[in-house]
Structure 1
């Protein structure tokens, strides 16, 4: 069930972004060697097995973990996430890690802006100001006059919209279902969707890459679980600005591991985005202290 521990929600979001950034780096490596559909399918096989074990233990049994009064919403969010992962990895292939994340960084803006009309959460003018500042940072990164702004940018942009929808549905289902239930549906539905697609694209994988595949599976399971827990702890509009840190982590990995280039506009935009997130956190702390008096 949901709560309103903003500090814990922020910490969980930061952990999630670091895990996702590392996971995306592994995905980029594997996608450069093998078919994307197969990679995501294998990852979801492990994810589904892990989900059944964890969700069943937390809920008491798999049947209890699967029990929900909103099965269609749970199924929809699981399918949307699986398809979003496929789309985003394609973005890594065409744009690279840093530039894909630069475009994808707009998804927290979509969640923060829509959390009010869609979920009925309160979004004050200061939070709107932080969201607007983050949007300015994204525009600077995109550099509409050139740079990342190309037809390929539509790929991570589509992924951003899909992930924003997934994030909103996370908060929605958390009002009635536990993290164990949401986790179960995320893994099982995703496994069905990716298998229906990926089974037609199977190809042999070399021995050393199976180790990378195993690490991808572990990070995939861990990242989505911490994300679900983050939405349980705090309002979506309060923690979403901190999702921008995924851009920072992914850029660092892209620079050090893949030798990508960090352009000046990307650095400036990222700084604005991080500042907007920190401002939002500071405002939440001030508001919590005022209410406690």
Structure 2
């Protein structure tokens, strides 16, 4: 059993969120220049090669990593994640990094709300209250009733819902499968599914953007590696609150690189969403220890 090292786990989570924020900035650039499906397809080719390489180095090799009694669930969650990534990058190109990430930040609340019907977990009144506060924050961000409601704002909300269901399914399959098996299926099935769709949208890419594409692939693999290491050394409940730093880092990239601005309603709504999300994570930790 790996000795729990919470301080190292928190550091790894901070590094992970920074890497993913950089990856999101590169995704926004490439998604604005080329078809999103092609960009995600190339990224997943590298991701699949990475998970196969990781699996081949472990005991039992690829056969052990691929072994599962729930192939349809594993396949579905892999396809759901790759679809969520496409939707998220579309959000970056339509709304920018800041507003997409602020709306997407509600996904822990969706996980809490859906954990009852999907996993059969009990959600108490305190967490339901926090979920309600969080969605008030989302409404403040989206501004319905103030001028024209942006239909584009639904895009990151869809991505958050997809990612929440993916997260819950990952917890569900973990009852029978190891993290290594889920990781293997995520990369390989996602790559096959994305190739079947993305290959029809191939576009020639200029040399400088191939450099950015390479950086996107490397940050994707590196981010997943640091995330795996993070969960190896510390409990998920201890490090998960620090995942919200991705919102901070992505906002910094949006402001400095893409000249985005943070509107007052977005800042207020984000504060409510993050506060509610942190509370639900804290309540989940309290219940798991009780």
Could you tell me which runs of 5 or more consecutive residues in structure 2 were left unpaired when the two chains were aligned. none
User: Secondary structure of the equivalent of 1:256?
Assistant: helix
Structure 1 residue 25: Cα displacement: 1.0
Change over 3 Å in CA distance of 1:275–1:207 after alignment to 2: same
Structure 1 range deviating more: 240-249 or 126-135:
240-249
Q: State the match for 1:154 in structure 2.
A: 154
User: 2:104, 2:38 → 1: CA distance?
Assistant: 23
Structure 1 residue 257: Cα displacement: 1.5
TM-score, normalisation: structure 2: 0.85
Kept in 1, the 8 Å contact 2:109–2:280? The answer is no
Structure 1 residue 270: Cα displacement: 1.9
TM-score, normalisation: structure 1: 0.84
Q: 1:81-128 CA distances to partner (integer Å, 9 max, x unpaired)?
A: 111111221122222222222332232221111113311334333333
Kept in 2, the 8 Å contact 1:111–1:165? The answer is yes
Equivalent residue pairs, number: 287
Superposed counterparts of 1:139-288, under 5 Å: 139-146=139-146, 149-224=149-224, 243-280=243-280
Q: Post-superposition, which runs of at least 4 consecutive aligned residues in structure 1 deviate over 4 A?
A: 7-10, 12-16, 224-236, 238-244, 280-289
User: 1:32, 1:202 → 2: CA distance?
Assistant: 15
User: 2:77, 2:198 → 1: CA distance?
Assistant: 19
User: 1:116, 1:202 → 2: CA distance?
Assistant: 42
Q: State the match for 1:101 in structure 2.
A: 101
User: 1:147, 1:99 → 2: CA distance?
Assistant: 17
Q: State the match for 1:66 in structure 2.
A: 66
Q: State the match for 1:120 in structure 2.
A: 120
Structure 1 range deviating more: 122-131 or 42-51:
122-131
User: Secondary structure of the equivalent of 1:177?
Assistant: coil
Could you tell me which runs of 5 or more consecutive residues in structure 1 were left unpaired when the two chains were aligned. none
Change over 3 Å in CA distance of 1:275–1:14 after alignment to 2: farther
Structure 1 residue 181: Cα displacement: 0.6
Q: State the match for 2:23 in structure 1.
A: 23
Structure 1 range deviating more: 59-68 or 12-21:
12-21
Change over 3 Å in CA distance of 1:284–1:200 after alignment to 2: closer
User: Secondary structure of the equivalent of 1:42?
Assistant: helix
Q: State the match for 2:76 in structure 1.
A: 76
User: 1:20, 1:195 → 2: CA distance?
Assistant: 23
Change over 3 Å in CA distance of 1:87–1:284 after alignment to 2: closer
C-alpha RMSD of the superposition = 3.3
Kept in 2, the 8 Å contact 1:106–1:138? The answer is yes
Structure 1 residue 286: Cα displacement: 6.2
